[in-house]
């Protein structure tokens, strides 16, 4: 019973903290940089440029929407509650479509896919360069 009351006392947010958004963009840029590790002969430059444009567009659309709504939302939240630190956000709960979960769990669920793809693409690019370098 006490665990339930502790859960109700935690601050709840339905918005990601700005630091999480920045981490998503940083991982997206890391993905673009790792994609360029596959540059080779022929038309690979063109294919990599198109892939990079797709990733950058996928990052820029949410970024523009976030920036447009951020100014008004920040003014309202700062007036009502004051600015919430990342540690406070992380200690609270996140209201997702499927229900409430810990903000730390939401952070992992949001960042894990893009982090896995970025790291995996980097490992593939490094492996490719070692395989090509070792064959020469």
- Show Cβ contacts of residue 57 under 8 Å, excluding neighbours closer than 6 positions: none
**Whole-number pLDDT of residue 128:** 87
Sorting pLDDT into bands at 50, 70 and 90, what band is 1? very low
Report the range of poorest mean pLDDT among 6-15, 38-47, 88-97: 6-15
What is the per-residue pLDDT across 30-72, written as a single tens digit (0 to 9) for each?
A: 999 998 888 777 778 888 888 889 988 988 888 888 788 777 6
To which residue do tokens 């949410």 refer? 62
- Domain locations in the chain? 2-135
Report the range of poorest mean pLDDT among 39-53, 66-80, 106-120: 66-80
**Whole-number pLDDT of residue 67:** 81
Sorting pLDDT into bands at 50, 70 and 90, what band is 129? confident
Sorting pLDDT into bands at 50, 70 and 90, what band is 82? low
C-alpha dihedral over 107, 109, 111, 117, to 10 degrees?
A: 170
As given in the structure block, the two tokens for residue 22 are 């920045």
pTM: 0.77
């Amino acid at each position: 019973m006490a665990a339930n009351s502790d859960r109700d006392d935690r601050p709840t947010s339905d918005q990601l903290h700005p630091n999480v958004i920045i981490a998503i963009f940083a991982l997206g840029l890391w993905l673009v940089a790792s994609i360029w590790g596959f540059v080779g002969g022929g038309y690979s430059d063109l294919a990599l440029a198109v892939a990079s444009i797709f990733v950058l567009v996928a990052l820029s659309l949410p970024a523009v929407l976030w920036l447009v709504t951020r100014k008004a939302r920040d003014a309202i939240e700062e007036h009502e509650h004051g600015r919430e630190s990342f540690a406070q956000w992380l200690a609270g709960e996140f209201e997702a479509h499927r229900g409430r979960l810990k903000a730390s769990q939401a952070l992992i669920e949001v960042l894990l896919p893009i982090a896995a793809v970025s790291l995996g693409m980097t490992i593939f690019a490094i492996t490719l360069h070692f395989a090509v370098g070792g064959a020469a």
